[in-house]
Amino acid sequence: MSILDAIKNSVIQGFQTNVTTLDILLSLGVSLLAGLFILLVYKNAQKGVTPSGGFCLTMLLITSISAMIVLTITSNLALSLGMVGALSIVRFRTAIKETTDTAFLFWAVAAGITAGAGFYLITLIGCLFIGAVCIVAGIMLEKSAKSYLLVVRVADSAATDKVEEVLTMRGVHYKLSALTQNAGYIEGIYELALPGKKTDVVSTIQSIAGVNTVSLVDCHKN
User: In the prediction, which pLDDT does 148 show?
Assistant: 83
User: How does residue 138 score in pLDDT terms, banded at 50, 70 and 90?
Assistant: confident
The DSSP string of the chain is: --HHHHHHHHHHHTS-S---HHHHHHHHHHHHHHHHHHHHHHHHH--SSS--HHHHHHHHHHHHHHHHHHHHHHH-HHHHHHHHHHHTT-------S-HHHHHHHHHHHHHHHHHHTT-HHHHHHHHHHHHHHHHHHHHHHHHSEEEEEEEEEESSHHHHHHHHHHHHHTT-EEEEEEEEE-SS-EEEEEEEEEETT--THHHHHHTSTTEEEEEEEE----
Q: Where are the domains of the chain?
A: 3-143, 145-218
Query: Mean pLDDT throughout 8-21?
Result: 61
User: In the prediction, which pLDDT does 127 show?
Assistant: 94
Residue 88 in this model has a pLDDT that exceeds 60: no
Query: Mean pLDDT throughout 95-107?
Result: 81
Angle between helices 21-45 and 120-143 (to 10 degrees): 0
Name which of 8-22, 27-41, 97-111, 137-151 the model is least confident about: 8-22
User: How does residue 92 score in pLDDT terms, banded at 50, 70 and 90?
Assistant: low
User: In the prediction, which pLDDT does 181 show?
Assistant: 83
List 27's β-bridge partners, or say none. none
Q: What is the pTM of this model?
A: 0.66
How far is Cα 75 from Cα 196, in angstroms, rounded to an integer? 52
Q: Residue 200: how many CA atoms within 13 Å on its side-chain side?
A: 2
Residue 176 in this model has a pLDDT that exceeds 60: yes
Tell me the CATH architecture of domain 145-218.
2-Layer Sandwich (3.30)
How far is Cα 115 from Cα 39, in angstroms, rounded to an integer? 16
Listed as own residue / partner, the contacts of 54-57 with beta carbons closer than 8 Å and 24 or more positions apart are 55/101
Average pLDDT, the chain: 79
User: In the prediction, which pLDDT does 154 show?
Assistant: 87
How far is Cα 38 from Cα 103, in angstroms, rounded to an integer? 11
User: How does residue 158 score in pLDDT terms, banded at 50, 70 and 90?
Assistant: confident
